[in-house]
């Protein structure tokens, strides 16, 4: 649009800075109003090896943004009388046999992530396989009691749609949503042929350690999928048409020529129903939050080698989508910057400066971590303040610690040195908030400020479980089990999984452990016996990871 050139140049500068600190090769960003696309920003490469840049027409996988598409279909089926939001999904799918130990699990629960079901490991490469796994992994809290993100729950939503319509979910999406919206470059299933003209998916080379900006990117594993939790392929231009559906409050002709959603259906779609535990609220495949004084309706998306963000601001009549071939935690900030820049331009105000993420070595409140830390094994390291960051001195190794420049500040840091990079350095605080201890791999370190209790002696059996395990699941190819400070913990080195990070393993009956808390449905046990009496299989949420020689 004439007059917005400078605004999109400024957004492009923010996108360039964003890519500099992302594990990604390229991105496309579009902003639309109620009528048309206002502009598109493309940066980086769709295919590094071929030297092919990202264009407005470049296709990406949009991941979990797909959930909102499926929710639209559910509301159409509810209006037609073929689905009900308040009956057990076992009544809709008699073959499902979904455990309901605390009461009926309904479509409402599934679509608001309050079913109590697990997130899903994605170890099963098909929707039916993942749903089958749910039969042996029951919920651990009552439906409606708490918000817990579940991809597998949305796979069940898709199965319900298929049951009552007699059509595959990807065909329903094609005929009822993508087609009527004119999203001709989009598809609702990921099959081998789709990869011929997709942006190449990229992921960090290493799957056995936290990703660092200095690690090379490689093409990610391909997946095939048609499930309702995230199988749409699209472009920023097509996704802008989807944004305009929101800005028109559903008043776009559907398959039968009438509006795609009635006013009542649209309100049901965007109504926010539960607290998401992160400062926002969640409805049917959509969350809402407030930024810069305006309300967003939005959803993020992540696939193997792709990241996406979709947001509309109804009161301003604007929508924005970013699609990226790689991993990043900062897309929400980039969308926020885009909205702020367009808002200023349309008002004739001075454009905000391009968003420049902080340096990875810039650490807020660095002085809190300074000190000498002594490990259970006698190793000692020192942390000292240097400029605006922290320097780690560990024997012959001296290195500046790094944080995720696109993430929120935390007590977890990367150690960018080949001798120590396999594990993050995680600091712990006492009840007063003072940093008193640290963890690196299987070693617990305490500082001179530590005044807490001595750790309990763990059962000898737990030592059988420690080690490094692998799986062919592209989302979570590795897990590590550690024992330190008397606690057994599970660690997910790969950034491609929703379970990334670390959780304490709490012993349950019959050799099972709960990951995090007993209220979380994540369950793990250890099977078999190999050399040295070590367990050889870690069975987690129905999937199997196998002990690797890489210990």
Compute how many other C-beta atoms are within 10 angstroms of the C-beta atom of residue 377.
10
348 contact partners, CB below 8 Å, separation of at least 6: none
The whole-angstrom separation of Cα 344 and Cα 350 is: 6
Phi, psi torsion values for 473, nearest 5 degrees = -60, 120
Single out the residue of 150, 137, 227 nearest to residue 542, CA to CA: 137
Q: What is the pLDDT of residues 206-224, one digit of tens each?
A: 999 999 999 999 999 999 9
**β-strands 202-204, 501-507: how paired?**
unpaired
Question: Can you name the residues that pair with 527 across neighbouring β-strands?
Answer: 537
The whole-angstrom separation of Cα 131 and Cα 517 is: 23
Contact (Cβ atoms closer than 8 angstroms) between residue 97 and residue 272: no
Beta strands in 98-256 (DSSP E): 202-204, 217-219, 233-234
Question: Can you name the residues that pair with 290 across neighbouring β-strands?
Answer: 295
The whole-angstrom separation of Cα 296 and Cα 270 is: 11
Domain 460-547, CATH among 3.30.450, 2.60.40, 3.40.1000, 2.40.128: 2.40.128
The whole-angstrom separation of Cα 117 and Cα 522 is: 9
Q: Domain-by-domain residue ranges, the chain?
A: 5-65+184-346, 71-165, 366-401+410-447, 460-547
Task: Give start and end residues of each alpha helix (H) in 278-418.
Answer: 331-346
Fold of 5-65+184-346: Beta-lactamase (3.40.710)
- What's the pLDDT at 495? 47
The whole-angstrom separation of Cα 308 and Cα 300 is: 6
The whole-angstrom separation of Cα 468 and Cα 136 is: 25
Distance set, CA 546 to CA 136, 247, 350, 387, 415 (Å): 20, 49, 57, 44, 27
- What's the pLDDT at 287? 95
Q: For the chain, give the number of residues.
A: 551
- What's the pLDDT at 1? 52
Single out the residue of 279, 299, 318, 165 nearest to residue 229, CA to CA: 299
Distance set, CA 389 to CA 305, 382, 386, 484 (Å): 31, 14, 5, 27
DSSP state of 177: I
3-state secondary structure of 97: coil
- What's the pLDDT at 497? 36
CA 427 to chain centroid: 24
For the chain, which residues score pLDDT lower than 50? Answer: 495-499
Q: What is the pLDDT of residues 490-533, one digit of tens each?
A: 999 864 433 457 899 999 999 999 998 898 899 999 999 998 99
The whole-angstrom separation of Cα 520 and Cα 141 is: 8
């Amino acid at each position: 649009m004439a007059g917005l050139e400078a605004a999109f140049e400024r957004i492009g500068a923010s996108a360039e800075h964003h890519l500099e600190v992302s594990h990604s090769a390229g991105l496309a960003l579009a902003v639309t109003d109620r009528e048309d696309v206002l502009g598109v920003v493309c940066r980086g490469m769709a295919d590094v090896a071929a030297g092919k840049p990202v264009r407005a027409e470049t296709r990406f996988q949009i991941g979990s943004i797909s959930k909102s598409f499926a929710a639209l279909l559910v509301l159409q089926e509810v209006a037609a009388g073929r689905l009900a939001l308040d009956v057990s999904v076992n009544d809709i799918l008699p073959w499902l046999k979904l455990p309901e130990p605390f009461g009926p699990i309904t479509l409402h629960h599934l679509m608001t992530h309050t079913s109590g079901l697990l997130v899903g490991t994605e170890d099963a490469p098909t929707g039916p396989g993942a749903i089958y796994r749910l039969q042996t992994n029951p919920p651990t809290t009552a439906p409606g009691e708490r918000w817990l993100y579940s991809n597998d729950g949305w796979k069940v939503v898709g199965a319900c749609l298929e049951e009552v319509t007699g059509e595959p979910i990807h065909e329903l999406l094609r005929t009822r949503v993508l087609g009527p919206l004119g999203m001709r470059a989009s598809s609702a299933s990921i099959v081998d042929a789709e990869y011929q003209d997709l942006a190449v998916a990229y992921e960090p080379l290493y799957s056995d350690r936290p990703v660092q900006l200095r690690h090379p990117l490689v093409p990610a594993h391909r997946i095939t999928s048609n499930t309702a939790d995230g199988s749409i392929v699209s472009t920023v231009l097509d996704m802008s048409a989807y944004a305009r559906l929101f800005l028109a409050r559903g008043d776009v002709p559907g398959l039968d020529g009438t509006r795609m959603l009635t006013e009542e259906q649209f309100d049901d779609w965007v109504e926010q129903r539960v607290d998401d535990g992160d400062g926002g609220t969640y409805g049917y495949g959509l969350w809402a939050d407030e930024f810069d004084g305006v309300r967003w309706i939005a959803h993020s998306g992540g696939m193997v080698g792709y990241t996406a963000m979709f947001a509309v601001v109804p009161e301003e009549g604007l929508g924005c989508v970013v699609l990226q071939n790689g991993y990043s935690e900062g897309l929400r900030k980039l969308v926020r910057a885009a909205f702020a820049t367009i808002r200023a331009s349309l008002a004739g105000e001075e454009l905000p400066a391009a968003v420049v993420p902080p340096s990875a070595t810039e650490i807020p409140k660095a002085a809190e971590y300074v000190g000498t830390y002594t490990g259970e094994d006698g190793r000692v390291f020192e942390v000292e303040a240097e400029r605006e960051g922290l320097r780690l001195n560990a024997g012959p190794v001296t290195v500046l610690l790094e944080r995720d420049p696109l993430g929120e500040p935390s007590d977890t840091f990367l150690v960018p040195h080949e001798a120590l990079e396999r594990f993050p350095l995680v600091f712990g605080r006492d009840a007063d908030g003072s940093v008193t201890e640290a963890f690196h791999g299987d070693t617990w370190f305490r500082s001179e400020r530590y005044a807490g209790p001595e750790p309990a002696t763990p059962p000898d059996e737990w030592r059988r479980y420690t080690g490094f395990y692998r799986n062919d699941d592209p989302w979570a190819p590795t897990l590590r089990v550690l024992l330190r400070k008397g606690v057994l913990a599970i660690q997910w080195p790969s950034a491609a999984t929703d379970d990334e990070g670390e959780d304490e393993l709490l012993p349950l009956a019959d050799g099972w452990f709960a990951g995090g808390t007993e209220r979380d449905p994540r369950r793990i046990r250890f099977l078999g016996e190999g050399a040295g009496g070590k367990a050889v299989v870690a069975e987690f949420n129905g999937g199997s990871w196998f002990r690797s020689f890489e210990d």
